[in-house]
Each structure stands twice: as structure tokens, then as C-alpha cells.
């Protein structure tokens, strides 16, 4: 019966604004080049905040310190048939989006596999490029950030058992 449970993929995203521009990544996907917030999946043994810090570093080479939760989002994406995906895929994502402080750039760090480059785009450029967004949540997260939506990080709690499972305890 467990196989019938609805299990959306848990992801995190960093909504990073500097001088009126937002940091996005351009990544190679089975559907071609797409734009996304620095984002990725939650790994075993890490909190949502740790995942966001890690994904931002891996995809942009920038350190990132989450300071507030912008929102929690769900979206369903139906992907077409493609290599490694016969018959396509129907995936639901639950995204936790954070804003915070951008730290130093590690210029020596290679970007994660599939990430072509980072881009700083104005809100109008992000809106105009929506056909290239990897997820419908890219634009929604930015709009919520611009609307001033911020929730304290204290609303999140990671029980110690999450970390213990990663250590094989």
C-alpha cells in the first residue's frame, strides 16, 4: 500500500537579489537550456537550510546564508518522453524557497554538472524569460520575494534523527 502514497520531491531554492537583479542559473536539461533559481533536492541527513546552502554553492560557487523563508510551494511538472525517461514523467515538487545573504564567490570552484552559467537578471527579464524557466515556481518565488513575503526560519525544525540516519546510527 505504501507505493500508492503521494510523495512529492522535496526541493530547496535560493532567491537572491542584489542591486535589483536576481541570481539565476542556466542549466542543460533534457528539454534544452533552462533558467532556474539556484535550487535542488534535499539529501538524506541534511536540513532544508543545509540543502539550500549546499545547492547554492554547487550551482553558483557563491556562499549563501539563508535568513528567511519566502514560501513553501507545490507544482506538478509533466515532462515529455526523452533519454532515460521513456514515456515521460509526471513529478510533483514541494519547494522551500529562502532569501538571505550572498557571500563570497569561490572563483576556483567548478559549477555542478549541467549548470552552464550564472546570470543576474532584472525582474522584467525574469518575467520575459518565463518560457525558458525550468519550473513555474521560478517566477512565483521572485514575485513573492518582491511582495515582501518573509517568514522566520524558526518555523522550520529538523529533528536530530535526520542527522543520525545519515551517520548510520
Could you tell me how far CA 131 lies from the centroid of its own chain? 18
pTM for the full predicted model: 0.88
Which of 42, 58, 13, 72 has the alpha carbon at shortest distance from 158?
A: 42
Cα–Cα distance for residue pair 91/80, rounded to 1 Å: 11
Domain coordinates in residue numbering, the chain: 7-166
At the top level of CATH, the class of 7-166 is alpha beta
Q: For residue 77, what is its C-alpha cell?
A: 511538472
pLDDT attached to residue 89: 73
b vs e for 113-141, b when ≥16 Cβ sit within 10 Å of the residue's Cβ? Answer: eebeebeebebeebeebeeebbbebbbbb
* Cα–Cα distance for residue pair 24/33, rounded to 1 Å: 13
Residue 80's pLDDT is 66
- Comparing CA positions, the residue from 16, 24, 28, 6 lying closest to residue 119 is 24
**Average confidence (pLDDT) per 10 residues, the chain, 169 residues:** 77 98 95 95 96 98 98 85 65 94 96 96 98 95 98 96 70
Amino acid at each position: 500500500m505504501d507505493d500508492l502514497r503521494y510523495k512529492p520531491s522535496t526541493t530547496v531554492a535560493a532567491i537572491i537579489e542584489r542591486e535589483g537583479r536576481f541570481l539565476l542559473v542556466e542549466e542543460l536539461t533534457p528539454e534544452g537550456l533552462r533558467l532556474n533559481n539556484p535550487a535542488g533536492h534535499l539529501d538524506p541527513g541534511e536540513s532544508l537550510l543545509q540543502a539550500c546552502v549546499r545547492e547554492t554553492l554547487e550551482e553558483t560557487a557563491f556562499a549563501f546564508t539563508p535568513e528567511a523563508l519566502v514560501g513553501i510551494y507545490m507544482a506538478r511538472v509533466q515532462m515529455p518522453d526523452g533519454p532515460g525517461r521513456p514515456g515521460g514523467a509526471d513529478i510533483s515538487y514541494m519547494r522551500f524557497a529562502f532569501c538571505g545573504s550572498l557571500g563570497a564567490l569561490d572563483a576556483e570552484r567548478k559549477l555542478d554538472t549541467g549548470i552552464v552559467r550564472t546570470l543576474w537578471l532584472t525582474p522584467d527579464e525574469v518575467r520575459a524569460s518565463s518560457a525558458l524557466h525550468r519550473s513555474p515556481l521560478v517566477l512565483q518565488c521572485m514575485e513573492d520575494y518582491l511582495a515582501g513575503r518573509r517568514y522566520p526560519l524558526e518555523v522550520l525544525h529538523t529533528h536530530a534523527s535526520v542527522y543520525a540516519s545519515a551517520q548510520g546510527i
